[in-house]
């Protein structure tokens, strides 16, 4: 294939990433990932921040992981400073898939506690993948401050992230189990149960945590 033909194909693929038809964008992302090219990286990252279709975003992330991390980490880290929530969320998600720990310092407490649930959830997933050995306790201390937050999916995401850190979460969880907020106490209890029995399921862990909290309260009344 001549260089001119390669350039023409690249131009068509990049243009197709902005097509109004999601199926066209999906095929374009697949094509870009199948034939990685450094010229694609900037537009792939930019497209992630505005792409409305979930499946297309997933393929954009896959396409970025097909390029060397030396080309993708810098632009993705830059997106973490964006005012657009989707840009931050998708960049964090992609960094978790790239798996290059050079990105770790860019994941800040502000990301882990972001007011936007999707950003925070992506930050939790990325953080547990990228955290350097020895820094897990510090990460756990930040993550437990988010216990009791949001709806079921957000709470489940946080529990999964905490469980992925292992035994370092036990002491922070037990401290959280004495929190004044009953939502925090319940979430902390359910997360520790999941650590002990990962196959239990989140709903079962929540119900068991409710029972334990109720028995504890009853015992205090006695």
- Are the beta carbons of 106 and 80 closer than 8 angstroms? yes
Q: Supply the pLDDT for residue 198.
A: 76
In a domain, 189, yes or no: yes
Taking a C-beta distance cutoff of 8 angstroms, is the pair 164, 175 a contact?
no
What's the structural domain count of the chain? Answer: 1
Residue 58 lies in a domain: no
76 domain residue, yes or no = no
What pLDDT is attached to residue 206?
60
Residue 201 φ then ψ, to 5°: 90, 145
Which residues, given as ranges, of the chain have pLDDT below 70? 1-10, 199-222
What pLDDT does 220 receive? Answer: 44
Q: pLDDT at position 13, please?
A: 79
Give me the pLDDT at residue 12, please. 80
Would residue 147 count as lying in a domain? yes
Q: What is the CA radius of gyration of the chain?
A: 21
Tell me, yes or no, whether 99 lies in a domain: no
| pLDDT of res. 218 | 39
Structure confidence at residue 221 (pLDDT):
43
Domain annotation covers residue 170? yes
List, for residues 38-75, the tens digit of each pLDDT value. 989 999 999 999 999 999 999 999 999 999 999 999 99
Segments forming the whole domain that contains residue 221: 136-222
Would residue 43 count as lying in a domain? no
The answer to whether residue 128 sits within a structural domain is no
pLDDT value at residue 217: 46
Contact 48, 91 (CB under 8 A): yes
């Amino acid at each position: 294939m001549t260089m001119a033909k390669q350039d023409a194909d690249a131009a068509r693929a990049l243009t197709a990433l902005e097509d109004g038809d999601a199926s066209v964008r999906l095929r374009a992302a697949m094509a870009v990932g199948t034939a990685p090219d450094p010229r694609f990286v900037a537009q792939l990252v930019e497209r992630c921040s505005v792409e409305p279709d979930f499946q297309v975003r997933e393929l954009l992330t896959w396409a970025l992981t097909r390029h060397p991390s030396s080309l993708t980490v810098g632009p993705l880290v830059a997106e973490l400073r964006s005012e657009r929530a989707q840009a931050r969320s998708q960049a964090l998600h992609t960094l978790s898939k790239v798996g290059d720990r050079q990105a770790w310092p860019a994941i800040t407490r502000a990301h882990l506690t972001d007011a936007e649930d999707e950003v925070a959830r992506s930050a939790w997933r990325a953080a547990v993948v990228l955290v350097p050995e020895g820094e897990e306790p510090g990460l756990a201390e930040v993550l437990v401050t988010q216990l009791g937050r949001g709806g079921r999916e957000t709470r489940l995401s946080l529990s999964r992230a905490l469980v992925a850190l292992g035994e370092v979460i036990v002491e922070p969880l037990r401290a959280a189990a004495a929190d004044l907020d009953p939502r925090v106490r319940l979430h902390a209890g359910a997360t520790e149960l999941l650590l002990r029995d990962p196959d239990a399921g989140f709903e079962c862990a929540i119900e068991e945590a409710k029972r334990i909290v109720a028995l504890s309260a009853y015992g205090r009344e006695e």
